[in-house]
Amino acid sequence: MKRFHARHRLDIGPRGLAAAFAALPASDPERAAADVEHLWSADATGLACYSVRSAFHLLLTSLDLPAGSEVMFSAVTHPDMPRIAVHHGLVPIPVDLDVATLAPHPELLLRAVSPRTRMVVVAHLFGGRVDLRPTIDVCRRNGLLLVEDCAQAFRGVPHVGDPLADVSMFSFGILKTATALGGAMLTVRDPALLARMRVRHQCWPLQRRSSQLKRAVQTAAFVALTRPLPYTVLARVIPSLGVDFDQLVNSAARAFPAASTVELVQRLEQRPGAPLLKLMAHRLGNFDRARLLARAASGERLASMLPIGLHVGGLAPDHTHWLFPVACDRSDDVIRAARVAGFDAARSASSVKPVPAPAGRPDLEARCAQDLMSRLVFLPAYPELPEGSLEALASAVEGHHNHAYASS
């Protein structure tokens, strides 16, 4: 039976899973929060939260911006981020991206600033990082708060955010680097804002221990089933049962299932419990830098084998290749070619989507981001792939790419 390799390899192994179960009896959330926040940042700028979305909701609650204020987002982000902004009476404004770096265009950012603009949120995508210097120039000139979403770009402590940003947000959800099965860390550089956030955070209920137990069990199952042999069996059996394989894989790692905005906010309003906080501290203190470097090198090798321009965001600085996206005009054919070669390429390895323009403002549509996301395919490029896998994958993708180009 030809092995079928999963689209993503979770950044956790047996020791990390053992630590997840060992942390379950922890019962002092205040002490656990203090420990992980000190480990994160000795200058008392860290704040441990339940998730990045939970943290963003907390941030907007603490800022209490006037209704109708505009929040500019780099044009591709998790759809719940602008959704949360709307819940707070704010207007999300997309800023289109440079495909080579996935950074927001500074001139488009400057053009979109209005008297109602209060904040800019920049997402670092797929393991690459955005150079924030052009964005910070616009923010400083216009008195805007700069928030960076680093959920997909963690590189280990002491890399806890760009000093140019007012707030830096990092995720440790199930798919993320150094996963703690959930949780988030913020770096908040304004002491007064951080103090307000802490006060409001303490009013939220504590995460239930049972939810962390459920995550630990689910993650252990996910890790086991995404190994080549069981994943190969699943990929063959699941469709024969009338179940959509892509949908099954994507939903297995979703932290917050689809819900109304009210239900979403209710789920977000909780503090991380002691078991989650203790596991976060363990994962941060035992960060696997060797795997990070191996993952980055694997991504660079695959990029070097593909036609120039196929890899999306390849010119982003300091790339760690959390995911490896390519843009193809005939993406279904590329996915099919990769799968025939034994690699589970997919459209939906990440939940990010283009941010829509406000109603009645077609001039703000992020057309480049929309076109990019419509053509995106994610290829597996993690370092645990067997020897020769990257060459085989590149050959399958490049062969199809050349055929499609020649026939167009």
The token duo for 361 is 């403002």
Task: Tell whether omega for the bond before 92 is within 30 degrees of 0, i.e. cis.
Answer: no
Q: How far apart are the first and last CA of the chain?
A: 35
| CA-closest candidate to residue 123, choices 182, 179, 56 | 56
Burial class (CB in 10 A: 0-12, 13-18, 19+), 193: middle
How many CA atoms does the CB half-sphere of 254 hold within 13 Å?
Answer: 16
Q: Which CATH number fits domain 18-201: 3.40.50.1470, 3.40.640.10, 3.60.21.10, 3.20.20.330?
A: 3.40.640.10
Where does 18-112 show beta strands of DSSP type E?
46-49, 70-74, 76-77, 91-95, 97-98, 103-104
| pLDDT (0 to 100) of residue 256 | 65
The token duo for 42 is 């000795």
- Residue-by-residue pLDDT tens, the chain, 408 positions: 578 999 999 999 999 999 999 999 999 999 999 999 999 998 989 999 999 999 999 999 999 999 999 999 999 999 999 999 999 999 999 999 998 999 999 999 999 999 999 999 999 999 999 999 999 999 999 999 999 999 999 999 999 999 999 999 999 999 999 999 999 999 999 999 999 999 999 999 999 999 999 999 999 999 999 999 999 999 889 888 888 888 778 777 666 665 788 899 999 999 999 999 999 999 999 999 999 999 999 999 999 999 988 999 988 988 999 999 999 888 999 999 999 999 999 987 778 999 999 998 898 999 999 999 999 999 999 999 999 999 999 999 986 654 433 333
Burial class (CB in 10 A: 0-12, 13-18, 19+), 301: middle
d(CA 187, CA 170): 9
Phi, psi at residue 72, to the nearest 5°? -90, 130
The token duo for 280 is 């976060």
pTM for the model:
0.94
| CA-closest candidate to residue 188, choices 131, 147, 224, 231 | 147
Domain extents for the chain? 18-201, 218-257+287-407
Contact 184, 51 (CB under 8 A): yes
Burial class (CB in 10 A: 0-12, 13-18, 19+), 242: exposed
- Order the strands of the 117-123 sheet from edge to edge: 46-49, 184-188, 167-171, 145-149, 117-123, 70-74, 91-95
C-alpha dihedral over 74, 78, 80, 81, to 10 degrees?
-30
Superfamily of domain 218-257+287-407: Aspartate Aminotransferase, domain 1 (3.90.1150.10)
The answer for residues whose C-beta is within 8 angstroms of residue 184's C-beta and 6 or more apart is 48, 49, 50, 51, 52, 54, 55, 151, 169, 170, 171, 172
Single-letter code of the amino acid located at 342? G
What are the CA-CA distances from residue 55 to residues 81, 181, 371 (Å)?
Answer: 10, 16, 30
